[in-house]
Amino acid sequence: MHRSWWMENGPGCTVTSVTPAPDWAPEDHRYITVSGCVLEYQYIEVAHSSLQIFLALAGFIYACYVVKCITEEEDSFDFIGGFDSYGYQGPQKTSHLQLQPMYMSK
């Protein structure tokens, strides 16, 4: 008992309820016959799934391209030093104290 939306709603399909339903049919399901479909529902499901896979693959490739473009733009800017292309140079100390080496005698 395969239930497919495309089986009942495919192009050109005519759904007819069968009453009374057989004893073996579950109570929460309708027992129907489908006729007049232009394409069988299996072919429509395969085409639908193929389209979804193609769109997912195209979206993934586009997302990778966008990430690549964004990361290339970010590499050209040094967040610490501004537009300094020489890399990070720590802040310069402006101290009036001059450090002298300290020797300890024994």
Q: What is the 3-state secondary structure (H, E, C) of 47-74?
A: HHHHHHHHHHHHHHHHHHHHHHHHHHHH
> CB under 8 Å to 26, separation ≥6 — which residues?
1
Q: Percent of the chain beyond pLDDT 70?
A: 65
Please give the pLDDT value at position 78.
55
Is 81 within 8 Å of 88 (Cβ atoms)? yes
pLDDT of 19-56, one tens digit each? 776 677 676 666 777 888 889 889 999 999 999 999 99
Please give the pLDDT value at position 62.
97
Provide the pLDDT confidence category of residue 85 given band limits of 50, 70 and 90: low
Please report, for the chain, the start and end positions of each structural domain, with discontinuous segments joined by +: 5-78
Question: Within 10 A of 8 (CB to CB), how many other CB atoms are there?
Answer: 15
Smallest CA-to-CA distance from 32 within 19, 50, 18 is with: 18
